[in-house]
Structure 1
């Protein structure tokens, strides 16, 4: 993992600028809509205690005083010009798209490829969008390899997917079609431009969205019409380019030849990688547009023609193409997947320590045999009677878990939890992580019930302070003010305490208001993995 932040002369960190949600892969657009990428330069979501390849964590470090001064000077002198240029270029692209789309509906765009003057106007729209990137500092786009025709490879498999600027591929070549959420058609200015690329739209409200989208990709790929190639970012989410995570099989179901395409950004500073845990999009835009220029490299690898086995097994096909691309990039492949981002996001919302490491923690706990064990539940019951639980050394930690001190996975787990590298860990942090890993697919009420003894001696006498602390883990739905109001509503006799059962009964009666406590997150199940990265 790269380390943190832009540090000006005095060592002060630049304050967070903001964040905007991203677009995921075709198969998970509905789930992706519930995820947010947060500017976490101030809040470290991942541990620093154990080094491993975590593809979802990104930091920027610019320690040079000269570079920092340049950023602030260009913010005043160059940034306004670039913003105006980007806006004017976007408006010109929108105008070309409006002209080209005149008299056409979304159904018309889906029915057949554009031809004649409409096709020419589509290319003009792409040039207008290319100017947006030019004004945005991407003056240089280097093309390597030979771009295949749509007949040779109907699908372009692109990786690594790391940034909002990856769409430069679409405007710099073709332009090909994309896979997008149906809602993007309604975005001011951009909606028309996206429509004009004849995308394959994903209908999130449609329960058959996944099957319908795959069918549309198959139909396009096997069509005899002159459709443009379909671009698919096979990883399904943004990573930091340190490894290629698992490819989603959507691009490989048609069983047709694909052309792997690599995206590289050979620049001094990486100011545009937008991951789950890292700087927000507005900060990245600011830092990107206050560089004199940025480079992008697009490399077309030879067309990959699937074998009979690969045609029959889309996952095998996806893995083999990923291996080819990883070798060309000189990076390892990783067992991480888009589903792991969902796990991390749920852990973050439930205030679990080190959500950025929770997948690695879960895998380590599995190897220690603690997922099936009841040791964490036993420690929970006695937690408030144990002493010095915030500063356990490795020997005490191993004794409490009843794990041999020679077990290398014990040391790995200890390092993951030792986020300050102080040589000690918190038992509470371990218990929260362990119980989350066991119960992440259960409803929140079950999880909260498992945590009671961390905060209260008895489930029948939970005081207000303990209840508020417990409710912090209710997925962000019950803040301190709401939790206190709920406590007073339950404590009708002014006893100063309530029981968990009375809380459960109330939420059951008012289930429409507390349905989030009963929702099971079955979609975050993921297959067990024994490694996080392999060379």
Structure 2
């Protein structure tokens, strides 16, 4: 129809507006990232549009959300260029967090309610788990977006003391110093934070760490699980608080921020 209307008119008008020329500073020795930023600023200013930090990583997130059947896949874009700059992660790592979030059954607007959040992380409703969710729910709306989930998880994982805190939590569980922990040892420690956990609930949590299904968890698997689920470090807040009361409180400051 558009082509027919164009061919049936006696006159057609086309206007082309050229963007301003942006040249590298200092005889082409300008930092490429700085030059790209100046070029982006010039384009946004000329076109009178808002400048964002979206990148190809957002396209990957968009396509995966659309593939999973989300009604508004654009709600899962997070301005990956900014995320990469702030947290120094790759787009593939963000994709892993998206898979976790999608398993929480987001609603039509792309938001996850607390019960689905707890279901996927194998947590029961309690003060500790509510505090973990509230750490992400900055709007206090009772639901979270993927961006909030991603930023909150990465904020914890990229803390300088995250790795040492994971190792300390493992050592608190490894009572017999066998360099592996059993479900019983694991349960004894996390019950300090959630006292009324039954054996079945402990087992479900333990399975997140026991990826090899051996009934015992090595330090590497323990740390790997916490890197994939950084918010679960809050499970060990009680034992770490007890340890810090004896030593110092540096390593527990990150956990205290969540709970």
* TM-score band w.r.t. shorter chain: 0.3 to 0.5
Structure scoring higher RCO (CA < 8 A, sep ≥ 6) equals 1
Larger C-alpha radius of gyration, 1 or 2? 1
The structure with the greater share of residues assigned to strand is: 1
The structure with the greater share of residues assigned to helix is: 2
When normalised by structure 1's length, the TM-score is 0.18
